[in-house]
Structure 1
């Protein structure tokens, strides 16, 4: 991957920005010159992010929003259009784990929440900002995925299924826009020192895992105006793009 690009004057939207990979991605984007629209439910985390970005000379707009609020996602796209007239970068990072459990033991409300936040809200976000990204001279969309989408491990069913669905949405979107300046890719962060990872694997030593700041730094080249790849998945801990499996 190339070094961090110059994103001066570009508008970037990051979901799940109050902690973990989303928090540090927002910081890296702002440090590269982008104005960051930071979206999350947790106001305290957003305010901490705002303080850090502004202290470093960056710019941010905070949007406290629960991504289960679908009309709220629609309004977000309208507000961005009214204020900036376009969007240059989307980092669709927000997601929930649900429970690590046999499929037959997963409660209906847990399954519904995983699909609502991980899949439906991602689609709704794409729907809301796709026209704005098309108005950019070099729109860039990065959708967070997971190796769980491909391994289909026991007890990870709902989360794995949600990430497989997100990758398929991403791939379809990339194919629809491949002849446009818009570039759409998925990003697999791998094992990372986050609260979600601790929830999933509670016995693991977190100090053996990459810090989310390290992983977030690898998202920046995918936001570069010079990026040519689209419809691929970038595996952060292998430092490489991988093509989606093509149909026979």
Structure 2
């Protein structure tokens, strides 16, 4: 197999379904060895089966991103086996409850904050040295227009995505003079389980499928892509 990402190593969180699954399949099809991170072993194995059918290679990492210390161990495991990382896709995220800010339960707040922000910080902390060892390290995080729209009842999701934007852009600016390029993707409405939870009356057939976003991720993951610190909005064609 030869492709745009031949011989590159890519780690994708939330890789068992939705956007993460679509990106994993696309990157494997382009020659990358993909490290698939998600909570459910069975779902990861299903994605692995699809990757094997197209001649791709994957390593499965069943991991709950709330286990922050395990993220540190993940970096160590990658270093011992491969010595570097070429691509990081921080896709995993939680919607949380749609409710007035004053009604958000502390436990719910902490859970969404942990997955949407703290886990990504820990991924950066763990994997930054490995991305620096690549000739063209690329990091892509999934954000949302909710970070800026601040619609009623979306407080927990909006706040955590705004924090993610600030974190990732800062990291990008810190690395402008390195070979790393770090960006965010704002997918907009996409036919995913999270979207169905947020908009239960919406017809998913009217929305882009996750696979339609994959070419954008491939573009941002390419060693030739040079922009950094941007929020790139998906535009359906």
Determine the structure 2 residue equivalent to 1:246.
none
Q: Give me the whole-angstrom Cα distance separating, in 1, the residues matched to 2:42 and 2:158.
A: 30
Determine the structure 1 residue equivalent to 2:121.
123
Structure 1 segment 104-143 matched on structure 2, within 5 A: 104-143=102-141
Structure 2's unaligned 5+ residue stretches are: none
- 1:106 is displaced (CA, Å) by 1.4
Task: List structure 1 segments (4+ residues) > 6 angstroms apart after TM superposition.
Answer: none
Determine the structure 1 residue equivalent to 2:156.
158
Structure 1 segment 1-248 matched on structure 2, within 5 A: 6-237=4-235
Q: Give me the whole-angstrom Cα distance separating, in 2, the residues matched to 1:128 and 1:16.
A: 17
Question: Are the counterparts in 2 of residues 20 and 212 from structure 1 also a CA contact under 8 Å?
Answer: yes
- 1:238 is displaced (CA, Å) by 6.5
- 1:215 is displaced (CA, Å) by 1.5
TM-score (norm. length: structure 2): 0.97
- 1:217 is displaced (CA, Å) by 2.7
Q: Give me the whole-angstrom Cα distance separating, in 1, the residues matched to 2:156 and 2:96.
A: 7
TM-score (norm. length: structure 1): 0.93
Question: Are the counterparts in 1 of residues 208 and 236 from structure 2 also a CA contact under 8 Å?
Answer: no
- 1:105 is displaced (CA, Å) by 1.3
Q: Give me the whole-angstrom Cα distance separating, in 2, the residues matched to 1:51 and 1:82.
A: 26
- 1:216 is displaced (CA, Å) by 2.5
RMSD: 1.0
- 1:44 is displaced (CA, Å) by 1.3
Q: Give me the whole-angstrom Cα distance separating, in 2, the residues matched to 1:23 and 1:89.
A: 15
